[in-house]
Amino acid sequence: MEALSSLHKEAIREFLYKMADDQLILGHRNSEWTGLGPLLEEDIAFSSMAQDKLGHALALYTILHEHLGEKDPDTIAFTRNERELRCCHLVEYPIGGYDFSLTRHFLFDTAEHLRFEMLAGSAFEPLAQVARKIKGEIKYHVLHAQTWMKQLGSATEESKARMQSALNETMPLALGIFEASPFEAELAEHNIFAGEHELRNRWLEVIAPTVADAGLVLPDIDALTPAYGGRQGYHTEYLQPLLTEMTEVFRIDPTVEW
């Protein structure tokens, strides 16, 4: 591959970090359902998706390490402080009730599936290769989410009301996924990624029919204030406690061989 210019490099670095950090943090959140899922199958589903997400974070951190000179994946994942992380607020929130976790899973994984479909054709070949793999795996997450949105959106009055209220609550957070980076034009110009705005539009087209099929009502997007800040390192109060817990064992002895 041709040598990357420094601006070009900075744009890709920022882009990879935000995607990988989303996977890492939501992977950890998903794993909090292990042992607590409302049904055995759901316990296994969230645990499997947690494992997939950590695998996706690892694949993206590996690109940062091998192609952009960043430290090794474990160091990147476990030694950066809160301000250095670029995840969106949506993934930081505690698991809450199953209504919130399922709604977050539906909104986030639909966006990620579309994101990696777009990236499968990226001009940055190492990312395109990983994207072609990841999109096939996330397809399972999307199918799982759609099944449950429809199931609970049409089950009982209580399930309907809870899913609608979860959707209303989660939507501004989900819009934060698409916070623009300072490098949107750079990435689009080099055919690396068509942009967060484009992704957001495709996402709205895909979620709308599932929400309607589920008998739920999509909130008025234009009236919402997206939860921005995560991509610039400004996070919710929930991220630091998660990082503290996640790195607790690692920090006992960062040099230990596992």
Return residues touching another protein (CB under 8 A): 41, 44-45, 47-49, 51-56, 58-59, 129-130, 132-134, 136-137, 139-140, 143-144, 147
> CB-wise, 25 or 227, nearer to another protein?
25
Q: How far is the CB of 121 from another protein (least distance, A)?
A: 14
> CB-wise, 54 or 227, nearer to another protein?
54
Q: How far is the CB of 136 from another protein (least distance, A)?
A: 5
Query: 162-173 b/e with 16+ CB inside 10 Å = b?
Result: bbbebbebbbbb
> CB-wise, 49 or 90, nearer to another protein?
49
Q: How far is the CB of 197 from another protein (least distance, A)?
A: 27
> CB-wise, 80 or 132, nearer to another protein?
132
Q: What is the 3-state secondary structure (H, E, C) of 162-201?
A: HHHHHHHHHHHHHHHHHCCCCCHHHHHHCCCCCCHHHHHH
Q: How far is the CB of 59 from another protein (least distance, A)?
A: 5
